[in-house]
Amino acid sequence: MDVAVVGGGAVGVTVAHDLADTADVTLYEAETLAAGASGRAAGICYDAFSDRRDAALGERALARFRELSGGGGFAFTDCPYVWLARAGDDRVAREIREGAERMREHGRAVTVLELEALAERFPRLPTGNVAVAAIAESAGYADPEAYTQTMGLLARTRGATIAEETPARLTSDGAVETADGRHEADAVVVAAGAHTRDIVAAVGALPVKPYRVQALVTDSVDLAPPMLFDATNGFYLRPHGDGVLVGDGTQPVEQDPDDWDPEADTEFREACIEYQEQALGWSWPETRSWAGLCTATPDGDPLVGELADGVYVATGWQGHGFMRAPAVAERLAAQVLGEDGPISGFEPSRFDGDEAFEIVEGMRVEGR
């Protein structure tokens, strides 16, 4: 079987890796591996989803991350993930409690802590105005670029051809077209982030909108905080090397994937000082900051599966792409080989492709 993969992010290289033992695989990347969203992702990983399907994918992804950890420069670090509501935010506090209960029903290791218990477990975190917190015990973080590069190396070792600096798009008959000519593969998988919609436009329409998110990394700190999502104020953080990664800055406005600002805004960088003080009681200067593109869909679920005869897509991650990449790519590779069916609810055929919808950021409590 001859398979072409378009997109050298976390999903694309994992699909190429998983297919390389049983198919002739060529991966086309317009720039270099991890140059797009995967290289700018936060790297927070967990299985604490209130949807049973998402929880199972999260669990499988964590297992694969842990299996790979320690090889090829990739490391996965186990770390509890705390999400909390502040005092006075009754709606979000209720959603955290209800969501945690659904997660436990799906077998997730999730603990709900009130103020005193939270302070006892994390004594160095300011907890005075926290109403409630839930903790995903099975969680951790990783460097998305290191994962992508490692999986790319392993895919090459298995015999896959990876062509970097090779932009590609699909023709109306489903062939991959590059500057070097046509590749008429038996199956094509397009996992090119915000560019996926344009790459596959000749064979099908996708209702996906790119939107901009931002992150910042601090200088070295003297404590190692847990991963944390402040659901009231809409920011998150995790350990990052000797410092802390802080993320927020979501702009729910559709972006042109070929013309957008990859630098973090001044307003976001200034807001990160307040975020750190709220979450940790102190703030540290930044070492670097950046912006990236996430992709939204009408219902908040990704578009994964067969779009047209022999053409498969994987996009629309709503900010949850990297953490599920190993599991979703594994399922997609099996679907390409005819060994498994589509992921229920992720099929791109569920939309006509021209739906009008508002962008809703992925980092939220409701539905997750």
Domain CATH for 133 = 3.30.9.10
Query: DSSP state, 341?
Result: -
Residue 366 lies in a domain: no
Contacts of 285 (CB under 8 A, 6+ apart): 218, 219
Q: Are residues 243 and 256 in the same domain?
A: yes
Pairwise CA distance, residues 132 & 252, whole Å: 27
Overall average pLDDT of the 99-128 stretch:
93
Q: Tell me, what's the pLDDT at 124? A: 86
Q: Are residues 57 and 7 in the same domain?
A: yes
Pairwise CA distance, residues 126 & 272, whole Å: 16
Pairwise CA distance, residues 332 & 312, whole Å: 8
Query: In the chain, what is the greatest distance between 2 CA atoms, to the nearest angstrom?
Result: 65
Residue 202 lies in a domain: yes
Q: Tell me, what's the pLDDT at 364? A: 60
Q: How far is CA 215 from CA 133, 194, 196, 221, in A?
A: 23, 18, 23, 17
Q: Tell me, what's the pLDDT at 223? A: 79
69-73's contacts with Cβ under 8 Å and 24+ in sequence apart are 69/142, 71/150, 72/149, 72/150, 72/153, 72/154, 73/146, 73/149, 73/150
Residue 362 lies in a domain: no
Average pLDDT over the chain, rounded to an integer: 95
Residue 359 lies in a domain: no
Domain CATH for 44 = 3.50.50.60
Contacts of 262 (CB under 8 A, 6+ apart): 40, 290, 291, 292
The whole domain housing 284 covers: 79-137+209-296
Q: Are residues 288 and 184 in the same domain?
A: no
Q: What is the CA radius of gyration of the chain?
A: 20
Residue 361 lies in a domain: no
Q: Are residues 131 and 164 in the same domain?
A: no
Q: Which residue has the tokens 């994992």?
A: 14
Instruction: Work out the angle between the directed axes of helices 10-19 and 321-336 (0-180°, nearest 10).
Output: 30
Lowest pLDDT segment from 128-132, 220-224, 314-318, 335-339: 220-224
Residue 242 lies in a domain: yes
Q: Are residues 308 and 290 in the same domain?
A: no
Q: SS3 for 181-197, per residue?
A: EEECCCEEEECCHHHHH
Q: Tell me, what's the pLDDT at 249? A: 75
Q: Are residues 84 and 103 in the same domain?
A: yes
Q: Is the dihedral of CA 152, 153, 159, 162 positive or negative?
A: positive
Q: Are residues 202 and 151 in the same domain?
A: yes
Q: Are residues 257 and 132 in the same domain?
A: yes
Both structure tokens of 223: 């404590």
Q: How far is CA 145 from CA 100, 116, 255, 304, in A?
A: 31, 38, 23, 22
Residue 367 lies in a domain: no
Q: Are residues 287 and 214 in the same domain?
A: yes
Q: How many structural domains compose the chain?
A: 2
Q: Is the pLDDT of residue 72 over 90?
A: no
Q: Are residues 230 and 284 in the same domain?
A: yes
Pairwise CA distance, residues 303 & 296, whole Å: 10
H or E element, residue 140:
strand 139-142
Q: Is the pLDDT of residue 217 over 90?
A: yes
Q: Determine contact, residues 208/315, Cβ cutoff 8 Å.
A: yes
Residue 363 lies in a domain: no
Q: Are residues 248 and 277 in the same domain?
A: yes
Q: Which residue has the tokens 């490391």?
A: 75
Confidence of residue 363 (pLDDT cuts 50, 70, 90): low
Q: Tell me, what's the pLDDT at 368? A: 43
pLDDT tens-digit readout, 244-294: 999 987 899 999 999 999 999 999 999 999 999 999 999 999 999 999 999
Q: Tell me, what's the pLDDT at 262? A: 97
Q: Are residues 155 and 64 in the same domain?
A: yes
Q: Tell me, what's the pLDDT at 242? A: 93
Overall average pLDDT of the 174-191 stretch:
98
Q: What torsion, rounded to 10 degrees, do the Cα atoms 40, 44, 46, 48 define?
A: -100
Overall average pLDDT of the 138-161 stretch:
98
